[in-house]
Amino acid sequence: MDELLVLDYNGEGYFSHFNFGEWRIAYLNYAPMFTKEGITYLERHNETDEVFILLEGSASLFMGEDAREVVMEKFLSYVVKKSAWHNIVVSEDARVLIVENKNTGKHNSEYLPFKF
């Protein structure tokens, strides 16, 4: 069917799935860099918000320079406002849907070294 596109991603880590207009849909699955031991930085996107939706497993967002933990609940939309420091930690069975501006990247983001 030309009018329907069905996408999935079962690999490790972040995968940009689909762009439409100004938006990008991505999946984030478990990878060692998304564990407390693997986090080396917090990031912030200076031009756009970013939306995280937990679909499976468990995950926590860590917000602000002091990395306050926000335990995510499935199927809720967590909107990280532009310029907010954040990172995410996920369980091995986690699947997170991300919606963000398709131009979000290193050129308009900042990174703050961080270790738990």
CATH number for position 89: 2.60.120.10
In a domain? residue 2: no
Question: What mean pLDDT is predicted for residues 7-27?
Answer: 90
Q: Where are the beta strands (DSSP E) in the chain?
A: 14-20, 23-29, 41-45, 50-56, 59-63, 68-71, 77-80, 86-90, 95-101, 109-113
Is 1 a residue whose pLDDT tops 70? no
Give pLDDT, residue 58. 98
In a domain? residue 98: yes
In a domain? residue 42: yes
Question: What mean pLDDT is predicted for residues 48-72?
Answer: 97
In a domain? residue 7: no
In a domain? residue 28: yes
The pLDDT-based confidence of 91 (bands split at 50, 70, 90) is very high
pTM listed for this prediction: 0.91
In a domain? residue 4: no
Is 46 a residue whose pLDDT tops 80? yes
Alpha carbon 62 to its chain's center: 11
Is 7 a residue whose pLDDT tops 90? no
Question: What mean pLDDT is predicted for residues 56-74?
Answer: 97
- Full residue range of the structural domain in which residue 102 is found: 14-113
In a domain? residue 51: yes
* Domains held by the chain: number: 1
In a domain? residue 44: yes
Question: What mean pLDDT is predicted for residues 95-111?
Answer: 95
Can you tell me the distance from the alpha carbon of 23 to that of 2, in angstroms, rounded to the nearest whole number?
Answer: 21
Is 24 a residue whose pLDDT tops 90? yes
